[in-house]
Structure 1
């Protein structure tokens, strides 16, 4: 079964809270429900306890999907990471999540508007050798103790951004580590998401969909922009409003089951969230149908 949800970053940003900071949670959830979405990922305005989370989302006919978790496995081993993250892991499990969205954030630059993407961290061979087995072990522990499947989010400005990074990460981690394939982050990084889907279809357990305005991506590269400056300038948009071939993408995932999440961070002053998310939702339903996959409730 494929379900379509959204990340509240479409309404209010987490890395730069003033982007959409004036939009109340209730507006986000009511609009998501009206659009036809079935679930929501975590945002900074959401309830902080699992019981409150279930109750709040339930008011709008929504369920909790998951939430980003920054890991620091280059700095501590899997057992230490697990101990540090236990409250967050329990919160996600008890709120109803089945997957754990994870990204290694040691030395990341994606949250700093003044630091260009060109300064993102590049791992040494020794660092790769440290990170990969730790990520595998962490995924195994998370599954064993919390029942959550770790889905790794490749992301601009982090240690896993390029095609070479993604390939090295996937070949170097074990089966407990699944891939969160993000069409927007792949495209902006110069990676064909269709080819990624074909290559790793058996390990893809979560999908983030956003589109890329290639003209803005080119300006970002030429101007040596930061991730957040690029977002504010409109590098991302919703599925069907940019360069990604979503029908070809979904055709490479004929057996996919799980969530397809609209996660298209934009400046809400320039791109009305309800208008754009509704457009993205309608496009996704059409793309899934054209690809031979049916979006079901």
Structure 2
């Protein structure tokens, strides 16, 4: 059953907490749950972090399910055993709230939160990637043993960013056992220089989570031309929602692929913008209405 969700990052950014700082937490919950009508919401720094039941109670009050949340992997700098200890509290929170996936991405050497051009992002050699993938697979099996799919988030500024990175990562994880699944993010595909539909069709059998993020190509080109950091791009408006005429991505073909392959997971609008510049209620309402209409047109729902 398809469910539609959002991420509080549209209202209150996690990486730059000055974005949306003045927006009350209750406003986020009222708008996302009661006014717009999302089925669920992902994790954010405003939610209870150490009490899974408090999290469940808070979101339930506004008619929202807890979808999942980001976990920053540090497998390039610590052992698998240390990573298991680090991820376990997060898994406990996910299990308590009935989540099916754990969103993960290696951040130990990423530039996504740094004041550095995206061109300086890390690139692993084949040997380094193979060693890294072996560790990711161990963590993915650890998650799977607890009933949770680890969905790896290809992401700008990280070791899995471009189309070639995704292909290499997916081939190596498949060869190592295939426990690692993929979080498909339309916006990070486009931003990273690969057609979203190509990635989606190629890996639909291993995709367990879908981020419906759009990209403004005018801003993307400026990020590349002027050497902006990832967060410069976010603050500058590189991301937007499905249905925004300034966005480059057509979501109909993507939803059609999901329909053709009986996808039954979450579709989440995770589109971070400066809420002072782009009203979250307006943009998230547009995004959800667009996805629901196109989901019907393509036979997904």
TM-score by length of 2: 0.95
Where do 4+ consecutive residues of structure 1 move more than 4 Å? none
Which residue of 52, 55, 58 maps to 2:54? 52
Aligned positions, number: 292
Where does the alignment leave 5 or more consecutive residues of structure 1 unmatched? none
Q: Deviation of residue 163 (structure 1)?
A: 0.3
SS of 1:252 mapped into structure 2: helix
Per the alignment, residue 238 of structure 1 pairs with: 241
Per the alignment, residue 141 of structure 1 pairs with: 142
Where does the alignment leave 5 or more consecutive residues of structure 2 unmatched? none
1:22-41 counterparts in 2 under 5 A?
22-33=22-33, 34-41=35-42
Q: Deviation of residue 115 (structure 1)?
A: 1.0
SS of 1:284 mapped into structure 2: helix
Alignment partners' CA distance in 2, 1:263 and 1:85: 22
Per the alignment, residue 115 of structure 1 pairs with: 116
> Over residues 245-265 of structure 1, what are the superposed CA-to-partner deviations in whole Å (9 max), with x where a residue is unaligned?
211111122211110000010
> Over residues 23-74 of structure 1, what are the superposed CA-to-partner deviations in whole Å (9 max), with x where a residue is unaligned?
1221111101111100010000001211101100110111100000000112
Alignment partners' CA distance in 1, 2:157 and 2:199: 19
1:85-100 counterparts in 2 under 5 A?
85-100=87-102
Per the alignment, residue 72 of structure 1 pairs with: 74
Per the alignment, residue 285 of structure 2 pairs with: 278
Q: Deviation of residue 148 (structure 1)?
A: 1.1
**Of 123-132 and 199-208, the range deviating more from structure 2:** 123-132
Alignment partners' CA distance in 2, 1:27 and 1:89: 28
Q: Could you tell me whether the CA contact under 8 Å between 1:79 and 1:138 is conserved in 2? A: no
Q: Deviation of residue 18 (structure 1)?
A: 0.6
Matched, 1:187 2:190: yes
Alignment partners' CA distance in 2, 1:290 and 1:9: 28
Alignment partners' CA distance in 2, 1:165 and 1:85: 24
Q: Deviation of residue 90 (structure 1)?
A: 1.2
Alignment partners' CA distance in 2, 1:117 and 1:3: 33
Q: Deviation of residue 96 (structure 1)?
A: 2.7
Per the alignment, residue 152 of structure 2 pairs with: 152
**Of 83-92 and 189-198, the range deviating more from structure 2:** 83-92
Q: Could you tell me whether the CA contact under 8 Å between 1:180 and 1:204 is conserved in 2? A: yes
Alignment partners' CA distance in 2, 1:86 and 1:292: 38
Tell me the C-alpha RMSD between the 2 structures.
Answer: 1.0
Alignment partners' CA distance in 1, 2:52 and 2:98: 8
Per the alignment, residue 264 of structure 1 pairs with: 271
Alignment partners' CA distance in 1, 2:269 and 2:88: 27
TM-score by length of 1: 0.96
Alignment partners' CA distance in 1, 2:26 and 2:256: 36
